[in-house]
Amino acid sequence: MERIEHRACFGGWQDVYRHDSAVLGCTMNFAVYLPSQAEKARLPVLYWLSGLTCTEQNFITKAGVQRYAAEHGVIVVAPDTSPRGEGVADDPAYDLGQGAGFYLNATQQPWAAHYRMHDYVAEELPALIEAGFPANGVRGISGHSMGGHGALTIALRQPGRYRSVSAFAPIVAPAQVPWGEKAFAAYLGPDRADWARYDATELLKTATERLPLLVDQGQADEFLAVQLKPELLREACAKADHPLTLRLHPGYDHSYYFVASFIGEHMAWHVRAMKG
């Protein structure tokens, strides 16, 4: 690993590292916030997954999470949203290719060689963090939009790996909305049975762990009716008897103003679960 950014923040350090990912076959950046408590103890880690077009920078510069991580003594890790670089497949559209990895393992060409963000987030990155930083092996996961989809699906696909999960304005049923249909057809092919493995509403049908879900959604979100459809998550959780706290907020849109407004409450949710 190479540290490429190092900034004092709320008594701790906001860093960005670069490393060669064996899973993705490219060089990746990830951000790590280390609160002051990390100097003396091993701490739980909250993984944050960002949305379409984002990098690791959007969350660490706009959400204000460092204040709450410092207060509660939590390491926060925010990876990039997709593989990047020369030789990595891309597309001119914002919702496919670099910046739009959808946190899945692609099976179709030309994407399959690099687009394995599920395994990167669930396996390679935590192994790297727990070997190189004062992490105690307790994990939570959260995210926004495409990243909210990633947080929900990775937690549902990996029972026992995370102590807590939450999401802001997640794509809850990607197999039923335009963003997901486009990405899944490209990355996974035409068989919708393969799509179900990365759709939270489908995964809830066979979930073996009842990890409580916290989801916040702005009611002024321009993507609410067509791309996000939180009512589908509510219905799926009700049918599966899966615990869900779905909070709808009048006036809030899809931006980081929304995320920043409630990130402290999400951190408290994760801390209660991660620290018992």
Active site residues: 145, 221, 254
Cβ within 8 Å of residue 140, ≥6 positions away: 44, 45, 46, 47, 162, 163, 164, 165, 166, 270, 273, 274
As given in the structure block, the two tokens for residue 113 are 């060689």
* Total residue length of the chain: 276
- Using CA of residue 58, residue 62, residue 66, residue 68, what is the dihedral sign? negative
Q: State residue 235 phi and psi, 5-degree precision.
A: -65, -45
Half-sphere exposure of 101 (CA within 13 A, CB side): 30
Cis check: omega of the bond before 134, within 30 degrees of 0: no
* In contact, 196 and 202? CB cutoff 8 Å: yes
CA–CA gap between residue 140 and residue 138 (Å, rounded): 7
